[in-house]
Amino acid sequence: MPVITIERKVLEKNDVIANQNREKFKSKNLFVMNFVSSPGSGKTSLVEKTIEFSRGKFKIGVIEGDVQTNLDAERVNKFNVPVVQIVTNGGCHLEANLVRDAYKNLENEDFDVLIIENVGNLVCPSSYDLGEDIKVVILSTTEGDDKPLKYPAMFRNASVLIINKIDLLPYLDCNIEEMKKNALSINQQLKIFEVSCKTGEGLSEWIEWIQKNVGKS
């Protein structure tokens, strides 16, 4: 029986473009973060607060990814930072080519940190490299402390875990120590920040950490 041996990665096309993106970002001296989480964990709020708290320290550009509407780009636009919206029209994740095309609109803007807000989904975005430096996974206290165990691939691939909505802890059964233990059992290297985008608690530490990475990539 004739056999053709090929040994090719299924997502090679995406990976090639992701690497081109990475080279481009590197040449612009950008620190690039891919924000991933389930819907409603506070990704856009974290983008807003990161912009607000970073004023005078470093400049941010944003690529917003959503299944539908440009509501998030409008929210970010109020902060007077360069922003471009990707609408996936049903697509459950961003792909490297979408980021490449979106970035063309930001290329002449002056900023140090690019935040790519992925589509809210803890499964599919983990398979697609966009050319980012790191993945930041956001998990809110309302989602339960066992969530990392349910989505191990995403927590394994991320470098930073932001636990959001800590202001709600007194009202919830979520055990934050258990949540951190579960996340670290999947990825011991995870850098964890506990924040509230509502009250601002914990955000200064997060901004300081980003600042250490600016200009290093």
Partner 1 sequence: MHELSIAQEIINIVKTSLPDGHQKVKNVKIRVGKLSGVLSDSLKFCFESIIYQTELEGALLVIEEIPVQIKCNECNSISIIDNPFFQCKNCQSFDVQLISGKELEITEIELED
Give the residue from 125, 153, 142 showing the smallest Cα distance to 179: 142
* Interaction of residue 153 with partner 1, rule CB under 8 A: yes
Q: Dihedrals φ, ψ of 215, to 5°?
A: 85, -5
Residue 97 or 105 with smaller CB distance to partner 1: 97
Should residue 13 be labelled a site residue for partner 1 when binding is judged by CB under 8 A? Answer: yes
149 binds partner 1 (CB under 8 A): yes
Of 52-60, 151-159, 167-175, 209-217, which part binds partner 1 (CB under 8 A)?
151-159
CB 140 to partner 1: min, Å:
20
Asked if 177 touches partner 1 (CB under 8 A), the answer is no
Q: Which of residues 87-146 bind partner 1 (CB under 8 A)?
A: 91-93, 121, 123-124, 126-127
Nearest to 65, CA basis, from 42, 84, 40:
84
- Contact predicate 14/199, CB 8 Å: no
- Interactions with partner 1, residue window 22-81 (CB under 8 A): none
Q: Can you tell me the distance from the alpha carbon of 139 to that of 194, in angstroms, rounded to the nearest whole number? A: 10
Indicate the residue among 63 and 186 with the shorter CB distance to partner 1. 186
Phi first, then psi: give them for residue 63, nearest 5 degrees.
Answer: -115, 120
Q: Which of 29, 185, 199, 204 binds partner 1 (CB under 8 A)?
A: 185
Which DSSP helix (H) or strand (E) runs through 126?
Answer: none
Neighbours of 22 (CB within 10 A): 19
* Separation of alpha carbons 156 and 187, rounded Å: 5
Where on the chain is the footprint of partner 1 (CB under 8 A)?
1-13, 91-93, 121, 123-124, 126-127, 148-150, 152-153, 156, 184-188
